[in-house]
Chains A and B, each alone.
Chain A
Amino acid sequence: MDFIDWIILGIKIGALLIALLSVAPVMSWVERRGSALMQNRLGPNRVGPFGLIQPIADAVKFMFKEDPVPGHVSKFYYVLAPLIAFIPALTTFSVIPFASSIEVMGRVVRFQVADLNVGFLYIFAIAALGIYGVVVAGWASNNKYSLLGSVRSSSQMISYELSMGLSVIGVIMIFSSVNLNDIVRDQGNVLFHLGQFAIPKWGIFVQPLGFLIFLITVFAETNRLPFDLPEGDSEIIAGYHLEYGSMKFAMFMMAEYINMATVSGLLATLYFGGWQMLPGMHTLLESFSLSGSLSGITYEWVRIVFEMFSFVIKVAFFMWFFVWVRWTLPRFRFDQLMGFGWKVMFPLSLVNILLTGIFIKVM
């Protein structure tokens, strides 16, 4: 790696960090306005056009509010917990490719921060550490409701992480790789032709059951409704972050939204072709190229922009899906949650592996 490579890496990390950090304010606006839309209310609409400046007002409030540390908490762990939740959340997105590669001045630039051999296993590993933020917070708060929240969180995490890991084994079997770049590139191939339409080999078409299991388990992993039992405002007030205020609370909230962005990126990458262009965009690009208005390096850059746009659209859809589900479904009861995890999701994910094996053998 020479100096220019380091600069390129720095730019990629910087751009990704800015994007991830701005996810939380944007999503808090989307969530409020979205919930208002579904409940026939208006939501925040006073600050700026459509209330778009509201997140900035919130941020100012978070920063300038008094940040008290309650007397009964275990101080060291109390301060540590938001950091444990926040830092893993920021690092997981780094292996997700958000566009293919481009050759600039004899240098191949990949639009992915780290091209790791272990691929999404890295995401699972680091995301598994994020749970300690919740656990430590609940324990350090020295409060029965908080402790209940973290006990719930840890048992929920163990139950659903298993099905999540098993559900993506189907994807590994189909694309025979754990490297996200390989998986996305393979999804550009055509699965079969349906009349004049070519059905791409997206994960959703070859792994429908696996997709469903993965989708449900990531809701549990990100503690979103209908699996938000660690928070459960109506049962245990706010669970693990009950004793937290101002910026410390904001860090938990941001970690939740960034985790949502990461799993949305993972859902798009594994099952919806990642940066593979949306239907119709290829034809648009080809028509540009044929009319002669684009050529050489400009064409390449337009292609990259199209790919990034497709990826962002896919991620944005899943982000909206999270909000949509949250304000549609009620919360599980805890025994239902455990029963569902162990008696439905776990066997189903095993069946999925078996079916995938048969599918590969037959095809």
Chain B
Amino acid sequence: MEISPLFFYLFAGIAIAFSLFVVFSKSPISSAFSLIVVFFCFAAIYALLEAHLIAALQILVYAGAIMVLFIFVIMLLGADKEVLDFKKSSVFLKCSAVLFCGIGVCGFAWVLFHSPILIGTGPHSLEKIKMVGGNTRAISELLFSEYVLPFELTSILLLVGIVGCVVLVKRKSL
């Protein structure tokens, strides 16, 4: 396909532009809306890579469920009135933010250029996935055979998180 690089740069560009908007926007709700666009662009890039299941789940879980929750909380708390005022923040905070961002970026660049792992095609090529019977089947089979332990451990972790939340809230109300 020769059109896909064009679409990749389109969606990547939009994603970067809206990520900047998430950071620089002064009202929390516009930040949240921009973040939805970013997630949507990610999903589009996954779809370009023929990872349709990941794309659908990206939209369903992140853009669909988690961001609804974010926006719900923002609207419920009326956080829009507290527009962040950057002038009030101290010089120390600004300097340390720039410093740590710089360290982070440098770290990423170092890993990217010095990583011993060559980025190439993994064992699951497009033809193989097609032979197994599509993305969804390939991923579910892997998830419930080879990676069943990490999968179950993740769900236990989430369960612990939920129970923890309930306990914290209950203690306050009692």
Contacts and interface: CB of A to CB of B under 8 A. Distances in A.
A121 interface: yes
B36 A118 contact: no
Interface in B47-61: 52-53, 55-57, 59-60
A155 interface: yes
Nearest to B73: A154
Nearest to B75: A151
Contacts of A122: 52, 56
Interface stretch (A20-28, A129-137, A281-289, A341-349): A129-137
Given A147-B75, A151-B72, A151-B75, A161 B65 contact: yes
A153 to B, nearest CB: 9
Given A125-B56, A135-B71, A117 B134 contact: yes
B59 A117 contact: no
B101 to A, nearest CB: 29
In this complex, the member of B55, B63, B64, B134 whose beta carbon has the largest number of chain A beta carbons within 10 angstroms is B64
Nearest to B50: A117
B72 A129 contact: no
A158 interface: yes
Contact of A136 (B33, B60, B65): B33
A125 B53 contact: no
A154 B33 CA distance: 14
Contact of B136 (A131, A139, A154, A178): A178
A266 to B, nearest CB: 15
Given A128-B64, A132-B36, A179-B134, A121 B69 contact: no
A158 B40 CA distance: 19
A125 B59 contact: yes
B65 A158 contact: yes
B68 interface: yes
Contact of A135 (B59, B63, B68, B135): B68
B64 A117 contact: no
B59 A128 contact: yes
Interface string A143-176: 0000100110011011001000000000000000
Contact of B68 (A121, A125, A139, A154): A154
Contacts of A126: 59
A124 interface: yes
A155 B65 CA distance: 10
B64 A154 contact: no
A117 B75 contact: no
Contact of B135 (A117, A132, A151, A158): A117
Interface in B113-161: 134-136
B52 A117 contact: yes
A216 B83 CA distance: 40
Interface residues of B, number: 24
Interface in B67-96: 68-69, 71-72, 75-76
Interface residues of A, number: 28
B135 to A, nearest CB: 5
Contacts of B53: 117-118, 121
A246 to B, nearest CB: 25
A116 interface: yes
B130 to A, nearest CB: 10
Given A125-B59, A128-B60, A129-B63, A158 B72 contact: yes
B29 interface: yes
A278 to B, nearest CB: 30
Contacts of A158: 65, 68-69, 72
A117 to B, nearest CB: 4
Interface in A61-117: 77, 116-117
A155 B68 CA distance: 8
A147 B134 CA distance: 43
Contacts of A116: 52
Given A132-B36, A150-B75, 19 more contacts: A118-B53, A118-B136, A121-B60, A124-B56, A124-B60, A125-B57, A128-B64, A129-B59, A129-B63, A131-B68, A132-B33, A138-B75, A154-B69, A154-B72, A154-B75, A155-B72, A158-B72, A161-B65, A179-B136
Interface of A: 77, 116-119, 121-122, 124-126, 128-129, 131-132, 135-136, 138-139, 147, 150-151, 154-155, 157-158, 161, 178-179
Interface of B: 29, 33, 36, 40, 43, 52-53, 55-57, 59-60, 63-65, 68-69, 71-72, 75-76, 134-136
24 contacts: A77-B33, A116-B52, A117-B53, A117-B135, A118-B135, A118-B136, A119-B136, A121-B60, A124-B56, A124-B60, A125-B55, A125-B60, A125-B63, A128-B64, A129-B40, A132-B68, A135-B68, A139-B75, A151-B75, A154-B68, A154-B71, A155-B72, A158-B72, A178-B136
